[in-house]
Amino acid sequence: MNLILLFNEDFIEPNGRVRLTGRRLKHVREVLRVSVNDELCVGLVNGNIGVGRVTALDDSVLEMDVRLEQAPPLPLTVTLILALPRPKVLRRVLRSAAVLGVKRIMLLNCFRVEKSFWQSPFLEQEAINEQLALGLEQARDTVLPAVTLCRQFKPFVEDMLPGLIQNTIPLVAHPAAEAPCPRALGGAATLIIGPEGGFIPYEIEKLRACGCALVSLGERILNVETAVPALLSRLF
Amino acid sequence: MNLILLFNEDFIEPNGRVRLTGRRLKHVREVLRVSVNDELCVGLVNGNIGVGRVTALDDSVLEMDVRLEQAPPLPLTVTLILALPRPKVLRRVLRSAAVLGVKRIMLLNCFRVEKSFWQSPFLEQEAINEQLALGLEQARDTVLPAVTLCRQFKPFVEDMLPGLIQNTIPLVAHPAAEAPCPRALGGAATLIIGPEGGFIPYEIEKLRACGCALVSLGERILNVETAVPALLSRLF
């Protein structure tokens, strides 16, 4: 935790006094091992970053005075569209996307996504936000990504995708593609990553028909946890 | 599993008949759901890739005839030196490095590595090789990376590192560095990644004195699972 993410309800005085309990208190006490008067890196969700000076600390509560004067890091100009991965993988991928600065994530159904994945409790908004917050705290960012669930492939590709890709470079990561993934795009992208086993030919055709280019990172077939940072770091 | 990794002891006839049991049999039956005469992508550890045609299959054993005619993908020309991460993270990072094509991994002690991490059963060679094999099977590669444990920072940096970095570009991933991580190096690299919380100033100085350049991926502080693919994909 390189930044403690604060929420509006943490503020007990409008001038910037904050009270923490629960997970964040435990982390501050047991991992960061702070004392009164120590300063911590903090940030308000969807707001500025700054410093919190600890004014009170015991087993059950920490209070600090915070100043929030610095803007968070710039976001990546990408919409990340992922075939819904299995639940355990989903949690790590959400966290990793948040660490990397992705602000718009869409989870997509397709033929090779197991139907049971859509029943996972990890898809509840609270569970998603928990992983995203962990990513922001790691990366020292505050801007919570928006995650959208797209439960039907065809309506998504036909009705939503054309609007989403406007003014972006739309790419489908596809191990069998001949074109290498471009480097340092210098502009906005829409990045689409398929399921384990890949998109089926019908899906690839629908994505191509919409204007997406197929790109590859080489001969090796990457798992989605590895592909997300590898692709984003290549593109941005 | 995009490739079934074979070992010499799997061969029951020198002309290329193989017998599988255990984890690989279970995967082939339950996930790939193959039948007799189906063909599977296979590869001999540290050898060629090819095709296995299933000749017999029941609850307890699968036999296939294999032809191994294709060379595995080219390796990344990198030595990856990682401050030893916590055991659960280590497993994922080993797997991810194997997926990406790293063939030489060194796990390094330093000030912010918790001593208990060195006691982990996940550091036993068999446990390490299990994760590496999973990575190779994902990536369709056969060449098992070599993993070395370096339990003392100072002797490593003073005695081993100068030889390791010869004819390579030696880089330390350091979030506070001013220089951005270069793209598409076009040559061999030695990539050093610190622990959670980073290398301490003494360690950074030792690495610099050895000739390593400090590079950053930007303002965000990446966790090691995210940093490894992000850095490798940028460099190669």
CA distances from B16 to A160, B11, B40 (A): 51, 7, 14
Are A23 and A110 in the same domain? no
Number of domains in chain A: 2
**A31 Cβ under 8 Å from any chain B Cβ:** no
Are A55 and A159 in the same domain? no
* ipTM of predicted complex: 0.95
pLDDT digits (tens, 9 = 90+) for A87-137: 999 999 999 999 999 999 999 999 999 999 999 999 999 999 999 999 999
Are B183 and B111 in the same domain? yes
Residue in this structure with the two tokens 């000076």, named with its chain if needed: A53
Residue among A92, A221, A226 whose CB faces B2 most closely: A221
pLDDT digits (tens, 9 = 90+) for A173-204: 999 999 999 999 999 999 999 999 999 999 99
Are B59 and B82 in the same domain? no
This prediction's pTM: 0.96
Give the residue from A70, A99, A121 where a domain finishes: A70
Are B26 and B87 in the same domain? no
**A226 Cβ under 8 Å from any chain B Cβ:** yes
Instruction: Report the distance separating Cα A20 and Cα A5, nearest Å.
Output: 10
Give me the mean pLDDT over the B142-162 stretch: 98
**B184 Cβ under 8 Å from any chain A Cβ:** yes
**Which A positions 99-128 lie with beta carbon below 8 A of chain B?**
99-101
Which strands form B104-108's sheet, in the order they lie side by side? B146-150, B104-108, B78-83, B189-193, B169-173, B213-215
One-letter amino acid at B32 equals L
Instruction: Report the distance separating Cα A218 and Cα A228, nearest Å.
Output: 14
> Please, are residues A177 and A221 in contact by the beta-carbon 8 Å criterion?
no
Instruction: Report the distance separating Cα B132 and Cα B164, nearest Å.
Output: 22
Whether residue B147 is predicted with pLDDT greater than 90 in this model: the reply is yes
Here the tokens at position B81 are 């030196």
- Find the helix or strand (DSSP H, E) in which A136 lies: helix A125-139
CATH number, residue B12: 2.40.240.20
Task: Choose the mutation target among B215, B226, B228, B231 for the interface with A, i.e. most A CBs under 10 Å.
Answer: B226
Instruction: Report the distance separating Cα B68 and Cα B49, nearest Å.
Output: 5
> Which residue, B107, B80, B113, B126, is CA-closest to B200?
B113
Give the residue from A70, A95, A125 where a domain finishes: A70
> Which residue, A175, A174, A184, A183, is CA-closest to A212?
A174
> Please, are residues A220 and B139 in contact by the beta-carbon 8 Å criterion?
yes
Helices B125-139/B87-100 angle, 10° precision? 40
Query: Per DSSP, which regions of B109-155 are E strands?
Result: 146-150
Whether residue B15 is predicted with pLDDT greater than 90 in this model: the reply is no
CB-based contact B139 A220, cutoff 8 Å: yes
Are B121 and B8 in the same domain? no
Are A128 and A162 in the same domain? yes
Are A66 and A169 in the same domain? no
pLDDT digits (tens, 9 = 90+) for A89-99: 999 999 999 99
- What chain A residue is nearest to B97 in terms of C-alpha separation? A226
Categorize the per-residue pLDDT at B14 as very low, low, confident or very high, splitting at 50, 70 and 90: confident
pLDDT digits (tens, 9 = 90+) for B174-231: 999 999 999 999 999 999 999 999 999 999 999 999 999 999 999 999 999 999 999 9
The pLDDT score that the predictor gives to residue A14 is 81
Are B192 and B82 in the same domain? yes
Are B33 and B139 in the same domain? no
Q: Which residues pair with B81 in a beta bridge?
A: B106, B192
Diameter of chain A by CA atoms?
61
Are B121 and B56 in the same domain? no
Give the residue from B36, B70, B104 where a domain finishes: B70
- Find the helix or strand (DSSP H, E) in which B91 lies: helix B87-100
Are B150 and B229 in the same domain? yes
Domain that holds residue A24: 4-70
> Please, are residues B57 and B49 in contact by the beta-carbon 8 Å criterion?
no
CATH number, residue A156: 3.40.1280.10
